[in-house]
Amino acid sequence: MTSTDLTTGTTGSNGTTPAPVIIPGPATPYQGDIARYWNNEARPVNLRLGDVDGLYHHHYGIGDVDHSALGDTDDSAYEKKLVAELHRLESAQAELLLDHLGPVGREDTLVDAGCGRGGSMVMAHQRFGCKVEGVTLSAKQADFANQRARELGIDDHVRARVCNMLGTPFETGRATASWNNESSMYVDLDDLFAEHSRVLKVGGRYVTITGCWNPRYGQPSKWVSQINAHFECNIHSRREYLKAMADNRLVPQAVIDLTPATLPYWELRATSSLVTGIEEAFIESYKDGSFQYVLIAADRI
Ligand SMILES: C[S@@+](CC[C@H](N)C(=O)[O-])C[C@H]1O[C@@H](n2cnc3c(N)ncnc32)[C@H](O)[C@@H]1O
Ligand SMILES: CC(C)=CCC/C(C)=C/COP(=O)(O)OP(=O)(O)O
Ligand SMILES: [Mg+2]
C-alpha cells in the first residue's frame, strides 16, 4: 500500500498480502436500475465522440462553436468535423472542472464520484500526474475505464471500481479534491456531500458540474420531468445543492452559471445525426429558465 493509496482495508492480516476489497451489490433497487442502465448504454453520441481521441465522456459540452472548424454542411467530411467539434466542447467542460480543483501535486489523490467511462479521470491524471480513483455503479463502465487506463499505460494511477459513491472504501480525510461530473442527480445530496466531506482533507476542494432546476421557476418544469424520465435520474434544485453543501462543511468558493455556455453545444448537437431525442428538453428548459447548468466549487472546511 503506497502513501497515496486511499483505499482502506487493502492490507491483509500479515501486513503484506493485499486483501480483496469486497464490493457489495447495489445498496437499493434503484441503484440496481441505474447499474443496468449504464451497463446497457452504447449510444453513438457517446462512443463516436470518444473515438475521436480516446477520451470517453458522459457529460455535455461548453463554449462557442468553432464554425471555421466545421466548414460547409454539404462537405462530405462535415459529419466527422461535427463529431470532433461536439467532443471538443465536452472536453472543454471537463477542463473547466479540473481548473477548479485547486493546486494538485503528483503525490495527491483525487476522487471521481460517478466516473462513467473515465474520460475526466484520464484528463485529471494527464494534467496533474496524480492518482485518480473513480467509482461507478456499472461494471461495464469500470471495465471500460480500466481497459483505457491500461492501454494508456496509466493504470497504476487511474482506477475505476464498481462502488456506491455514498459509501466508498476511501480513507477518511486523505483526498486532495473530489468531484461529481453530471452524476449527482442519482443520489440524495445530504448523503453525497457527507461522503465527500468524509473523504476530503480539511482544506480540500469539491467540484460539481450539474444540471439543476431553478427555484426561481417555482417547481421542476415539464422539461425537467422529461430529462428525469429519459435518464432515470432525479434532478435537484440549485437551493438543495447549496443547502446540502452548507450542512456538510462544504463552503462554495465559486458558483458559475454555465447555461449560456452550454446552449451552443445543444444547438449544434440538435442538428447532427447523433441526436437522441432529449435535445429539445435541454434547449427549451435552458431557454425558459426552469433548468440551469452550473459549476459549484466548494472548500472542505
Ligand atoms: C452521466 S454519467 C457521468 C459519468 C462521468 N462523470 C462523466 O463525466 O463522463 C453518471 C454516472 O454516475 C454513476 N452513478 C450514478 N449513481 C451512482 C452511485 N450511487 N454510485 C456510484 N456511481 C453512480 C453512473 O454509474 C454513471 O457512471
Ligand atoms: C445535466 C444532466 C441533467 C445530466 C443527466 C446525467 C446524464 C445522463 C448526463 C450525460 O450522459 P450521456 O453523455 O450518456 O448522455 P447523452 O447520451 O445524452 O450524451
Ligand atoms: Mg453524451
Residue 148's CB: how many other CB atoms inside 10 A? 22
What predicted TM-score, i.e. pTM, was given to this entire model? 0.94
Tell which atom from ligand 2 comes closest to the C-alpha of 291: 3
d(CA 251, CA 197): 11
| Mean pLDDT on 11-37 | 71
Contacts of 23 (CB under 8 A, 6+ apart): 161, 162, 163, 169
Ligand 2 site, residue 276, Cβ cutoff 6 A: yes
d(CA 260, CA 293): 9
Mean pLDDT of the chain: 94
Is the pLDDT reported for residue 17 higher than 70?
A: no
Tell which atom from ligand 1 comes closest to the C-alpha of 94: 8
Q: Provide the pLDDT for residue 24.
A: 64
Q: Confirm whether the ipTM is greater than 0.90.
A: yes
Residue 295's CB: how many other CB atoms inside 10 A? 22
Q: Which domains does the chain have, with CATH numbers?
A: 29-300 (3.40.50.150)
Instruction: Quick: pLDDT tens for 136-150.
Output: 999 999 999 999 999
Contacts of 171 (CB under 8 A, 6+ apart): 6, 7, 8, 199
Is the pLDDT reported for residue 114 higher than 80?
A: yes
What are the C-alpha distances in Å from 91 to residues 3, 123, 140, 152, 213?
31, 9, 22, 18, 24
Return the residue whose CA atom lies nearest to atom 9 of ligand 2. 59
